[in-house]
Amino acid sequence: MSEAPAIEAEGLVKNYGKTRALTGLDLVVPAGTVYGLLGPNGAGKTTAVRVFATLLRPDGGRAQVLGHDVVNQAAEVRRRIGVTGQYAALDEYLTGRANLVMIGQLSRLTASAARRRADEMLERFSLTDAAARAVKTYSGGMRRRLDLAASLIGYPSVLFLDEPTTGLDPNARAMTWELVRELAAEGTTLLLTTQYLEEADQLARRVAVIDGGAVIAEGTPDQLKSAVGGEHLEVVLAFGSDVEAAITAVKPYATGSIQPDEDGLRLSVPVTAAEGLTTRVVRALDNAGVQVNDVTMQRASLDDVFLSLTGHLSGSEDDSEGSDAA
């Protein structure tokens, strides 16, 4: 699946009055993958998604979805996308089924196809039992599921998920993750925004870190992690071990300076991960007569990536995204 990218943005700029929501965002999302947009509140994630979904006209730059310009060919884009926002966009007074049939028909399905498709989706999202109830009687998790179903009813090739798991309980979150994986397996391109580094790590093939309305880092989760400091071995020494001897023993394997912790029982050894490395280090320590309680390979988390790139932790910034300018 290495044909034309599903989403391509060049120098996107969007201002809300004096607030600069996007400051020249560049992005290439390959077709058929799960792509994560990662950033704190106010970074511009939602604004970017709204531009791609033809809901917002950019002030500068251009964006294409499946080769169609989001401004000049919005109609072409709309027939190929599905959008799920942070809040369930449903008619509270209609039944779950009536909502899906309505969205299906407005997605240009014929009435009978919309009904068939609605029943399929209700089944797939385990909502068949609640199908005849008004949405206002639904729980939060059921609404999200129905909302997802609604965004899929028109057979989208590209699906935008704007913070799909924000506010969900762990069960519902696991379900959403499972669904994302299924959709990706079926060939859908998914662009997913999240504040949760773990979520991006779990789901996304590639990740763009956004801060201040532009992409500040891009790559696979692994690339991002190694760019930030890569791996290190955590060596826990037995009480009373010779720290100096231990450092000397592991030095040949280190790619940087070795940091013992305050009580001298734990060493953090920067390394380049390789086959059998841990074994060799343990053997070297053993040969040097150092008693070891534990050796584990530690990899930088996306949290570390985020912290080192932006200088603050994800979600620690609380200014609002430009979404209220809708």
Partner 1 sequence: MSAITAELVPERDVTYGRSPLSHFAADVWVLTKRSIARIRREPETLADVTIQPVIFILMFAYVFGGAIALAGGGNYHEYLIGGMLGMGLAQTAPGVAVAMVTDMSTGLIDRFRSLPMSRWAVLAARSIAELLTQMIGAVVVAGVGLAIGWRVHTNAADVIAAFALALLFGYAFTWAGICLGMTLRSPEAAQQAGFILFLPMIFISCAFVPIQGMPGWLQPIAEWNPMSAIATACRKLFGNPNPAAAIDSWPLQHPELAVLCWSAVMLAVFAPLAVHLYRRKALG
Chain positions contacting partner 1, by CB under 8 A:
14, 16, 50, 53-57, 75, 78-79, 81-83, 85, 87-94, 98, 102-103, 105-110, 113, 117, 120-121, 123-124, 134, 150-152, 154-157, 182-183, 186-188, 325-326
Q: Which two tokens stand for residue 322?
A: 């430009």
Measured from the CB atom, the residue of 54 and 241 that comes closer to partner 1 is 54
Measured from the CB atom, the residue of 4 and 106 that comes closer to partner 1 is 106
DSSP of 166-182, one letter per residue? TT--HHHHHHHHHHHHH
Measured from the CB atom, the residue of 108 and 251 that comes closer to partner 1 is 108
* Minimum distance, C-beta of residue 325 to partner 1, in the bound complex (Å): 6
* Minimum distance, C-beta of residue 200 to partner 1, in the bound complex (Å): 22
Which of helix, strand or coil describes residue 9? strand
From the list 35, 46, 33, the residue with the least C-alpha distance to 191 is: 35
* Minimum distance, C-beta of residue 287 to partner 1, in the bound complex (Å): 56
Q: Which two tokens stand for residue 18?
A: 């004096």
d(CA 204, CA 207): 6
d(CA 46, CA 55): 11
Single-letter residue type at 48: A
d(CA 238, CA 318): 44
* Minimum distance, C-beta of residue 168 to partner 1, in the bound complex (Å): 17
Measured from the CB atom, the residue of 156 and 221 that comes closer to partner 1 is 156
d(CA 133, CA 125): 15
Measured from the CB atom, the residue of 123 and 294 that comes closer to partner 1 is 123
* Minimum distance, C-beta of residue 277 to partner 1, in the bound complex (Å): 42
Q: φ, ψ for residue 295 (rounded to 5)?
A: -135, 125
Which residues are CB-contacts of 63 (< 8 A; sequence separation ≥ 6)?
Answer: 7, 8, 9, 10, 12, 51, 52, 69, 70
Measured from the CB atom, the residue of 70 and 247 that comes closer to partner 1 is 70
* Minimum distance, C-beta of residue 198 to partner 1, in the bound complex (Å): 25
Measured from the CB atom, the residue of 188 and 193 that comes closer to partner 1 is 188
Which residues are CB-contacts of 247 (< 8 A; sequence separation ≥ 6)?
Answer: 258, 260, 267
* Minimum distance, C-beta of residue 271 to partner 1, in the bound complex (Å): 42
Q: φ, ψ for residue 109 (rounded to 5)?
A: -85, 150
